[in-house]
Structure 1
Amino acid sequence: MVLDTRPDLKLKIEARLQQLFDRSVELKWTQNGMSIRITSVMGGDGYPANYEASGILQLVALLSAIHNDDIGALLIDEPEISLHPQHQAFLLEEMEQVAGDPADPTKKLIVIATHSASMLPLRHINELPKIAFFASARQIPSQIAPGTDILKRVKLAALIARLGTTHRTAMFAEHILLVEGPSDEIVASQLARRLGLRLLARNAQILPVIGKGEFVEVAKLFRLMNKRVSLLADLDALADDNTLVCFFSDFPEAAAIADKIGRTNLADLDRDLRNALSTFIADHKTEADTAAKTYPDWSSKESSPLATQRLTLARVLNDPESFGGKAASRATSLRTQYDVLLNALCQLGCFFLRRGAIENYYDMSGMDYNGKPDRAAIEAAEFDVKDADELAAHYGDVLAALRHAAPNQLVDEDLLLRMKLGAILTPVLLGMDINSSNAQLNALAKNTIGTASEVFALANKSTSQQVRLDVDIASPLFKRATFPFEIGLSDNPTTIVPQVLPGIPKKD
């Protein structure tokens, strides 16, 4: 209706449709009202608008509202529906052209609710206060106030500026797992895929930062958005200084965790361990220097006084016996103490690569590739041909961080099947005799729980001495090696059902 009365607005819309789709909008009045037709600027007959793709029709309506200068405020729910990502980006640019203070007749207030990273107007850190974050139905929306000190951080401004569409999905996630660089992201994301950890489905996102120096600032930023934040850092972030430990020690829940291990706070424990490590290195300088020479340091290319400290800590955590003699005994004791600290930090979401850096976990045999991301890609490409359990054990430090970021992510079908099977076994066993037909048994099951019983196939395997029921799975959607099985009147269904439908094993 508006386009029919506003030829200037109609031309505005047609100019954009021609640019994007080589289409024009044709409006005609008929006896049944207004008829909207689409014509191609390349020639040919027009056709009714309802023959066109829904995205184009939605775009006509959205562009009409966006450029209608009679509208002062526009609320749009999910403008991305049915639109190609590039067209979403185009629509965002169109909205930004006219968005502003409605006191200006050429501007309007525009509010959108979106699930699309392409529709997220975030190219500069100063644009963050324009966004309200809905983390979950259990929390009120959060918004960063303009002028907040954290918005002045240079490193955070650089992070926001380099966020591509993929990493912008972190703005929609409930839990953010920060990792140190693209190599760690490649390995962590491919490991999660191989082991069936559905991060995105559990509203979790891996986000790489550039260097350990960004961890705290980025974590603070996302916590202002009411997001749960965890991180996976190289070991040098623990060996070099106490920045990360102090940050997590200030979490409200950290006091109770420290209390359980008999400490005032975790930062004090870290300080004591740091002193103990320095004393160990001083007392066993020869052993520490020898161990450091044979352990690859991927955290830094230049030689520094911190290198020996980093590599000694890696040896202590992974192979304390390699120091030999009395040093080995002290190293073993030191590892036990460090385990207490690291396990406490894990509860808070702070994880460290105990071997040093992600490259210390690779199978480096025969590898000759330039650049850390190339090495990570080659390593991750081999995950599909490796045994899942061995892979999980080898990358245990990474896996622990992934599970923290996306807990309870596995779909356990056995839980539901168990209830259905348990509901039919007792009534069928009590209602059958040695002469009951298979049809009668399956009908009895159906009368008990309805059509869900058709997932199972029951058969009478009774003898003259005892009643026996054979239970199989009829549906091809549920293959189980534990089926078929037999059960009799003297057997306890509450014992047998969990055995044949054990579910997914719980991980520590």
Structure 2
Amino acid sequence: MINISIKIKIPELWKEAEFNKTDWGTINLIVGPNGTGKSLFADKLQAELNRHGYKARMLNAERLSGFEKRSYSHFGSSRLTAGINISEFKTLKSEGEQFGLSSSAFVLLKEHLDIRIKIEALLSDIFNKTIRLVEEGGYLKPKIQDNLGGAEFGLQQNECHGLKELITLLTFLYDDSKNCLILDEPELHLHPQYQSFFLSEIRKFAGDPKIDPSKKLFFIITHSPYFLDLRSIDDLKSILVCHYNQPPDFIDSLVAQDEYILKKFLPRFNTYHKQFFFSPNPVFVEGYTDQQIITLLFDKLDYNISASGSSIIDVGGKDELAVFFRLCKKLNIKARIIADLDAFFKGKLREVAQEDENCNKYIQDSGLGTDLSTLIGELDRKLKEVADDLVTKTATDSDLIQLIEFLKPLISVPDKRNTVIFSQLIALQKFKEKIYSAVSAQQQTNINYILPKFSLLLKAFESANIFIFPKGEIEHYYTQSAIDYLNFTDKEKSTSFHLERDYILSEPDITQLESKYADLILILKSSVPQIKVDLSKHLKFQIVEWLQTVQRAISKGDIANINGLKTHAKIDYKLFNQILEVTDLQIQADKRFVCKIKISKSLTSLDKEIDFNEMTIPHDFQFEI
């Protein structure tokens, strides 16, 4: 890491807060939602770097156009068509640097043969094209030709965006007059393959320029996971996460165990895992089956989790869940966890809950005690006592027989204690009355303690944004296959997952899904931030206005039948037919009527008629979509 003491204040965004960071990587990434001030932060960062003796050059996100933010006299893509006025080279270079534009890239290519040779070689090998700078009447025109033949062509305004982007980015990368580059969204117009290529070129130049003058520092503002190529813990510490109304956060240190787990995880850190850097509300789950089922259900139920800034990310294990959760806390990202029941009794995730101040506050405010670990230990002890008593009984009920036969060979095996506790708790939720009737009076007292206490402790976990499947695992909420809750193999999990997935994808009736997965949906809706796009109130407003117009027209005798309704000017049926269809209209001599309509299929999944008449009160008119 490189020591540079950077202090930044942006009162219009952060009020009195100040950003402070002293340890920097050679490649630093700045991420965060739109509107969090990343570009404004970059302006301040450039000034700070220059103050520390670095020669910083910024390329903003509008580097190719030069429009929107400011008015310019020299810039714009169209100048590539007309050519670049050679007499204006000096102005192009100074104003390009001042405003963060890349129009001076072709000036650099003209003036620096070494850079041009590198660019030409890369274009030839990657794009199979040749670039040539032509002087015509005092203007410099970049020309491109396919190496396989064909006519030369210019870099037109609406063409070759990726090619223009890559040429200009590489030009500034190879220019040794600056030893620090701040790049705002270098991924613009670049295919993921070329984003990765450009990052690999950046790595060749990344280093401390004060030790090796051939090296550069890089600060990359990005929304692309392809630039988050994390290979070491230092790479992780070189990420800044921007937020609304407060300075960016970063990882400054990690506890040894978390660092150990992360080092093992980094080689598996794929594009999907990286989403949490870009999501203000990531939700971490253990495995891909959890991720798939949860995402599919929300999609089918029309709950938009992406619009709320959520994404469901599987991390491959309980300990990884805890590490990612701690990372998010350090970066001030509001993460949530959905975990299996065994995480409640053991592992790193339980430790995270024990450390959480909201969880501890809930326990104290609820009068449960002061220590989560003690409370879970008490629950564990009482569950074991119930199991110890139950296995001594002789049962005639098939559910109890299955449970007793499962527990007996495990009950005295020390390293099977967690399995016993886990199974006993699930069984109590399924067959409380049967177990209650079978055990001794003392264990009945324990059962009366266990289930209410378990519910309260689940809420304590939830206050820490950790949501536990009380039935065990997501598979215990499946509806398309019979599941043995006590003994469920990995092969059976895989088979049942595909059955469940296929069913959810094929089921057209939302009400069926809501009914079959009611318990699971209840957990998911409380744990995953989502937005339900509600068309009904907007649709109702339009229909109510139209309904009143129809009632008035019929009462005045302006409409005698359905054809009259569809052609009446004030009814404007042509417009409203985009949202509804009048299927029938019966008008009596005394102007009483019944009108039947159907909502457009583009706005509802329900195929049914809705009636209204002269007595319908428009603002009380109800319908479902």
| TM-score of the two chains, using structure 1 as the length reference | 0.81
Q: Does 1:89 align with 2:211?
A: no
Alignment partner of 2:505 out of 380, 384, 395: 384
Q: Within 1, Cα distance between the matches of 2:596 and 2:245?
A: 43
Per the alignment, residue 419 of structure 1 pairs with 541
Task: Within 5 Å, give how 1:8-407 maps onto structure 2.
Answer: 8-31=114-137, 33-50=139-156, 52-103=159-210, 104-135=212-243, 137=244, 140-145=247-252, 147-149=253-255, 153-240=259-346, 244-245=349-350, 247-248=352-353, 250-254=355-359, 257-258=362-363, 261-265=366-370, 267=372, 269-287=375-393, 291=403, 293-294=405-406, 304-323=416-435, 325-327=437-439, 333=448, 334-361=450-477, 363=481, 370=491, 376-377=497-498, 379-385=500-506, 398-407=520-529
Measured after TM superposition, the shift of residue 133 of structure 1 is 1.3
Instruction: Say if 1:434 and 1:464, in contact at 8 Å, map to a contact too.
Output: no
Instruction: Say if 1:266 and 1:341, in contact at 8 Å, map to a contact too.
Output: no
The AA in structure 1 aligned to 2:165 is Q
Report Cα offsets for 1:341-371 as digits up to 9, x if no partner. Answer: 3244335432223333344455258999859
Per the alignment, residue 477 of structure 1 pairs with 602
Report Cα offsets for 1:20-51 as digits up to 9, x if no partner. Answer: 21011111122372222211122232222227
The AA in structure 2 aligned to 1:307 is T
Partner SS, residue 165 of structure 1: coil
Report Cα offsets for 1:318-357 as digits up to 9, x if no partner. Answer: 2223426243955763334322332443354322233333
* Structure 2: stretches of 5+ with no match in the other structure: 1-106, 394-399
Q: 1:277 to 1:151 in 2, by over 3 A?
A: closer
Alignment partner of 2:531 out of 397, 409, 414: 409
Q: 1:409 to 1:291 in 2, by over 3 A?
A: same
Measured after TM superposition, the shift of residue 444 of structure 1 is 3.8
Q: Within 2, Cα distance between the matches of 1:205 and 1:392?
A: 21
Q: Within 1, Cα distance between the matches of 2:619 and 2:337?
A: 42
Q: 1:201 to 1:35 in 2, by over 3 A?
A: same
Measured after TM superposition, the shift of residue 432 of structure 1 is 6.1
* Structure 1: stretches of 5+ with no match in the other structure: 504-508
Q: 1:249 to 1:467 in 2, by over 3 A?
A: farther
Give % identity. Answer: 23
Instruction: Say if 2:353 and 2:464, in contact at 8 Å, map to a contact too.
Output: yes
Instruction: Say if 2:185 and 2:223, in contact at 8 Å, map to a contact too.
Output: yes
Higher helix share goes to which structure? 1
Q: Within 1, Cα distance between the matches of 2:518 and 2:566?
A: 52
Q: 1:456 to 1:123 in 2, by over 3 A?
A: same
Measured after TM superposition, the shift of residue 408 of structure 1 is 3.5
Per the alignment, residue 506 of structure 1 pairs with none
Partner SS, residue 238 of structure 1: helix
Measured after TM superposition, the shift of residue 117 of structure 1 is 0.8
Q: Within 1, Cα distance between the matches of 2:296 and 2:325?
A: 23
The AA in structure 2 aligned to 1:485 is D
Runs of 4+ displaced beyond 6 Å: 365-369, 439-442, 450-454, 457-460
Q: Within 2, Cα distance between the matches of 1:49 and 1:292?
A: 77
The AA in structure 1 aligned to 2:231 is R
Q: 1:452 to 1:220 in 2, by over 3 A?
A: farther
Q: Within 2, Cα distance between the matches of 1:403 and 1:230?
A: 12
Q: Within 2, Cα distance between the matches of 1:183 and 1:439?
A: 53
Task: Within 5 Å, give how 1:431-446 maps onto structure 2.
Answer: 433-437=555-559, 438=564, 443-444=569-570
Instruction: Say if 1:73 and 1:109, in contact at 8 Å, map to a contact too.
Output: yes
Report Cα offsets for 1:442-476 as digits up to 9, x if no partner. Answer: 644679xx978964568986544236584746866
Q: Within 2, Cα distance between the matches of 1:416 and 1:61?
A: 47
Task: Say which is worse superposed, 256-265 or 345-354, in terms of deviation.
Answer: 256-265
Q: Within 2, Cα distance between the matches of 1:399 and 1:466?
A: 48
The AA in structure 2 aligned to 1:342 is L
Q: Within 1, Cα distance between the matches of 2:197 and 2:388?
A: 63
